Amino acid sequence: MKKLSLPIFAILFTLVLISCSEKKVTSPIVEEIKAYNLDFNWGEGGPNAFSAPGLWADASPEEHIKWYKDMGVNTVQTFIVSCNGYAWYKNGVVPEQPGLKYDFLPEMVRLGHKEGIKVMGYLCIGSNVRWGLENPDYSYGIPADRHIPFTQKYLDYLDTLIREAVSKTGIDGFMIDWFYQPNRAGNNGKWLESEKQRFAELIEKPFPGEENLTEEEYNNYSRKAIEACWNVIYTAAKETNPECILWLTCFDITHPHIVNSKMFQEIDWLMNEEGDIAKIDSIKSMVGENTRLITCLANWNKKDAKVVVADAMKNGVGLYGFVKPDSTSLLPPIAHYLSMPIDSFKGDDRNIATLARVYNNLPMDFIKEGK
């Protein structure tokens, strides 16, 4: 190859630099996560603190989407199956909420997408009242707490349910919650035979007995059990829809059974439900390159709404909140939360008043005049 003389090479090199400088490389704009949930999990009439099957079964998807749209969300989190164990869509492998008036979840998706809103489902991995009642040998009772060990029988249930829900309802993804080991207090700390078998399958040696189980063995088993369950969730969702968003919420994001796990690397959205940015900062190096981080406003974590919002916005962290609805399955119109100063509200009402302003790009001191 003929060599270029130095002056000609310099001219060509300069032209290349000019050409490259004129072509501005822009990163794709990542939409902020502005999410909320009217929480159908907790309510009256059930055998524990979870809502009775059929409570809010007459909920109107049209009214719900309007409420969320007025709030300014771009993501709604609603339900595939709530903690009572019944589904929010019809004619599925899991019985629907008794008396379900509308095909709720698919209608939420259809109406939400018309407004440019993502609609996410929900599965509580650690608790399901109906599952516990129907599978007593595979559940530590039915407390409003984690009670399900991740046996192969339960994983088969999740696999079937997830594949159907993702394909049948059109959801953009779903939240998984209470993804920890069961609380065995209801069985006086004794392990179920089904979980002893699961221990032997994963650790490849017999269960040593509760009194001989070391902390190291228990942590090793727990991480393996959670990872095996995660593999089923991930595969079922992504094989059904590769774009399905998997969203993990953690009430303890630094728990030794989940921290620095394969799940942290593969999850699409990861939320610290405790609400503080410090915990999120502590796990940032453990998550995948494309994992989105989210913080939470809810009355239980007792965080100052204005502080949480400011920290989240400063750190590029998504926002989410949730609250139990009233007897109508909704709450007062969003105009109510904009009609008075934020500090005039308390608890979850204050959180809603804050998020409604942030999500609608309004100043914190905004007050809507009139009714």
pLDDT tens track for 40-84: 999 999 999 999 999 999 999 999 999 999 999 999 999 999 999
- Give the integer Cα–Cα distance in Å for 124 and 126: 6
Say whether pLDDT at 21 is over 90. no
Sign of the four-CA dihedral 212, 213, 214, 215? negative
Say whether pLDDT at 147 is over 90. yes
pLDDT tens-digit series, residues 178-196: 999 999 999 999 999 999 9
Four-point Cα dihedral 259, 264, 265, 266, nearest 10 = 150
Average pLDDT, integer, range 326-335: 97
- Give the integer Cα–Cα distance in Å for 103 and 112: 14
Give the 3-state DSSP-derived string for the chain, with helices as H, strands as E and coil as C.
Answer: CCCCCHHHHHHHHHHHHHHHHHCCCCCCCCCCCEEEEECCCECCECCCCEECCCCCCCCCHHHHHHHHHHHCCCEEECCCECCCCCECCCCCCCCECCCCCCCHHHHHHHHHHHCCCEEEEEEECCCCHHHHHHCHHHCCCCCCCCCCCCCHHHHHHHHHHHHHHHHHHCCCEEEEECCCCCCCHHHCCCCCHHHHHHHHHHHCCCCCCCCCCCHHHHHHHHHHHHHHHHHHHHHHHHHHCCCCEEEEEECCCCCCCCCCCHHHHHCCEEEECCCCHHHHHHHHHHCCCCCEEEEEECHHHCCCHHHHHHHHHHHCCEEEEEECCCCCCCCCCHHHHHCCCHHHCCHHHHHHHHHHHHHCCCCCCCCCCCC
pTM over 0.85: yes
Q: Would you put residue 347 in left (φ > 0), alpha (ψ -120 to 50) or beta?
A: left
Q: Which residue has the tokens 């997408």?
A: 113
Q: Residue 17 — pLDDT band, cuts 50, 70, 90?
A: very low
pLDDT tens-digit series, residues 97-119: 999 999 999 999 999 999 999 99
Could you give phi then psi for residue 247, rounded to 5 degrees?
-125, 115
Nearest to 322 by CA among 120, 27, 100, 109: 120
Instruction: Give the tokens for residue 146.
Output: 């984690």
